[in-house]
Homo-oligomer: A and B are copies of this chain.
Amino acid sequence: MSDLLIRNCNVLNITIDARAFILYEHDILIGSNRIEAVQPTGMADPSHFKQVIEANGLLAMPGLINTHAHVPMVIFRGLAEDVTIEQWFNDYMWPLESNLQAEDVYWGMQLGLAEMIRAGVTSVADHYFYMDETAKAVEKAGTRALLGWAIFGNNGYAMIDRTAQFIQEWQGAANGRIRTIMAPHSPYLCDDDYLRAGVKKAAALHVGIHIHASEEMGQTRSSLEKRGLTPIQVLEQTGVLDVPTIIAHGCGVLPEDMPILAKHEAGFAHAPKTYLKLAMGTAPVAGFRQHGIPVGLATDGAVSNNTLDIFESMRLMAMTQKQASGTPTTLPIPEALYIATRESARVYGQPDELGALDPGNLADLILVDLSGMHHQPLHSMTASLVYNVRASDVRTTICDGKVLMLDGKLLTLDEGEIVAQVKSSMERLAQRQPDKRIQVYNP
- Residues on A lying within 8 angstroms of B by beta carbon are 74-79, 81-85, 88, 111, 114-115, 118-119, 273, 275-279, 281-282, 306-309, 319-320, 322-323, 325-330, 332-333, 371-380, 383-384, 387-388, 390-392, 415, 419, 422-423, 426, 430
| A377 near B422: Cβ-Cβ < 8 Å | yes
Chain B residues near A388 (CB-CB < 8 A): 77-78, 306-307
| B332 near A276: Cβ-Cβ < 8 Å | no
Given contacts A279-B326, A373-B115, A376-B422, contact A383 B81 (CB under 8 A): yes
A-B contact pairs, 17 of them (CB 8 A): A75-B377, A77-B375, A77-B376, A79-B379, A111-B373, A115-B376, A118-B374, A275-B323, A276-B319, A276-B323, A277-B319, A279-B326, A279-B330, A376-B422, A376-B423, A390-B390, A390-B391
Closest to A117 in B: B373
Q: Tell me the complex Cα distance, A327–B379, Å.
A: 39
Cβ contact of A333, chosen from B82, B322, B333, cutoff 8 A: B82
**Would you give the shortest CB distance from A143 to chain B, in whole angstroms?**
14
| B118 near A373: Cβ-Cβ < 8 Å | yes
| A374 near B309: Cβ-Cβ < 8 Å | yes
Given contacts A277-B319, A307-B388, A390-B391, contact A380 B326 (CB under 8 A): no
Closest CB pairs A-B (n = 5): A78-B380, A276-B319, A306-B387, A82-B332, A392-B392
**Would you give the shortest CB distance from A405 to chain B, in whole angstroms?**
11
Closest to A81 in B: B383
| B390 near A78: Cβ-Cβ < 8 Å | no
**Would you give the shortest CB distance from A27 to chain B, in whole angstroms?**
25
Chain B residues near A415 (CB-CB < 8 A): 373
Chain B residues near A319 (CB-CB < 8 A): 273, 276-277
Chain B residues near A320 (CB-CB < 8 A): 276, 323
Q: Tell me the complex Cα distance, A422–B375, Å.
A: 12
| A328 near B379: Cβ-Cβ < 8 Å | no
Chain B residues near A377 (CB-CB < 8 A): 74-75, 77, 111, 419, 422-423, 426
**Would you give the shortest CB distance from A115 to chain B, in whole angstroms?**
4
Given contacts A85-B328, A115-B373, A373-B114, contact A78 B307 (CB under 8 A): no
Cβ contact of A83, chosen from B277, B328, B372, B374, cutoff 8 A: B328
Chain B residues near A376 (CB-CB < 8 A): 74, 77, 111, 115, 419, 422-423
- The residue among A88, A306, A415 with the most chain B CB atoms within 10 A of its own CB is A306
- Apart from A282-B323, A308-B374, A377-B423, what are 6 other A-B pairs with CB-CB below 8 Å? A82-B333, A88-B328, A114-B373, A279-B327, A306-B384, A379-B426
Cβ contact of A374, chosen from B307, B374, B378, cutoff 8 A: B307
| B322 near A279: Cβ-Cβ < 8 Å | yes
Closest to A335 in B: B82
| B328 near A82: Cβ-Cβ < 8 Å | yes
Q: Tell me the complex Cα distance, A88–B328, Å.
A: 10
- The residue among A74, A306, A377 with the most chain B CB atoms within 10 A of its own CB is A377
Chain B residues near A85 (CB-CB < 8 A): 328
Chain B residues near A309 (CB-CB < 8 A): 374
**Would you give the shortest CB distance from A280 to chain B, in whole angstroms?**
8
Closest to A334 in B: B82
Q: Tell me the complex Cα distance, A307–B333, Å.
A: 16
| B379 near A430: Cβ-Cβ < 8 Å | yes
| A378 near B279: Cβ-Cβ < 8 Å | no
Given contacts A373-B114, A390-B390, A390-B391, contact A279 B379 (CB under 8 A): no
| B391 near A84: Cβ-Cβ < 8 Å | no
Chain B residues near A387 (CB-CB < 8 A): 78, 81, 277, 306-307
Chain B residues near A419 (CB-CB < 8 A): 371, 373, 376-377
**Would you give the shortest CB distance from A376 to chain B, in whole angstroms?**
5
Q: Tell me the complex Cα distance, A307–B279, Å.
A: 25
